[in-house]
Amino acid sequence: MQDPTLDLKVIHLVRDPRAVASSRIRSRHGLIRESLQVVRSRDPRIHRMPFLDAGHKLGGKKEGGGGSDYHALGAMEVICSSMAKTLQTALHPPDWLQGNYMAVRYEDLVVEPIKTLRQVYGFVNLAVSPEMEKFALNMTSGPGYSSKPFVVSARNATQALSAWRTALSYQQIKQVEEYCHQPMALLGYERVVSPEEVKDLSRTLLRKPRL
C-alpha cells in the first residue's frame, strides 16, 4: 500500500452479515470444513459469545443442518470481528490508506447498479463502458432467485436482498446481530426488534453508512 510505484487501491465489497449467514447455511455442505477452520482460528484468549439458543448443542439433531448450521453461525463471530477491525481502520485511516480505500455495499450495487458501478470505476480513475453497464443491469434484473449455492446468474435483486429474512429463524437473526452489531452499525444495516419486523419486506433495513 505504501509503494508509490503501485498506486494500489482497495475496494472492500461488504454485505449484510445476516445475508452472509443465510448463504453460509444454505451452502452448509460445501462450506462445513471452511466454517470449522474459521471457528477454530478464533483467538482462544477472547471470551466466546454464547449462543442465544442455549438448547442448540453442537452436532444436535435440530431442524435444518444441525451441527453444520451451528458452525456456519459460529463462523460469523470470527468473520464479523475481523470485519470490525478493518472498518475501524478505514474509519480512522492512517496516511497510507487515505483516499485508497472504498467500501461498497452489495445492496447498493444491486439496487442502484449503474450509480454504484460508476462510483467504483471513478474511484480507480476508469470509465465505465456501455457494455459493462448493460451487463450490470442484466445481472441484477433477472427473472428469479436461484437457491443453488456457487451459481453465478442473473437474478432478481429485490428477492436476493430479502431472501435471508424468510430463510433464517428469528433466533438465528438475533445471533448474527449479536456477533456483528459493530460492523452492522458502521455499514448502515439496521437490527430488527421483532419477528414481525423481519417479515415486513416493505420496510428497508438499510440506512446511510458511516464510511
pLDDT, greater one: 140 or 116: 116
- Residue 83, domain member (yes or no): yes
pLDDT, greater one: 29 or 100: 100
Q: Please tell me the distance from the alpha carbon of residue 130 to that of residue 133, in angstroms, as a whole number.
A: 5
Residue 166 is which amino acid? T
> pLDDT tens digits for 190-208?
999 999 999 999 999 999 9
Q: Where are the beta strands (DSSP E) in the chain?
A: 10-14, 101-105
- Residue 72, domain member (yes or no): yes
Residue ranges making up the domain that contains 183: 9-44+64-197
Which CATH number characterizes residue 161's domain?
3.40.50.300
- Nearest residue to 78 via CA among 51, 33, 48, 39: 39
Q: Please tell me the distance from the alpha carbon of residue 47 to that of residue 44, in angstroms, as a whole number.
A: 7
- Residue 155, domain member (yes or no): yes
Q: Quick one: pLDDT at residue 57?
A: 45
- Residue 35, domain member (yes or no): yes
pLDDT, greater one: 19 or 44: 19
Q: Quick one: pLDDT at residue 91?
A: 95
> pLDDT tens digits for 39-83?
667 666 665 666 665 455 443 444 444 556 777 888 899 999 999
Given a cut of 50, whether residue 172 has pLDDT beyond it is: yes
Give the chain's domain count: 1
- Judged by phi (left if over 0) then psi (alpha if -120 to 50, else beta), residue 59 lies in left
- Residue 210, domain member (yes or no): no
- Residue 162, domain member (yes or no): yes
Q: Quick one: pLDDT at residue 67?
A: 55
- Residue 51, domain member (yes or no): no
Helices 28-40 and 67-91: crossing angle in degrees, nearest 10, is 60
- Residue 119, domain member (yes or no): yes
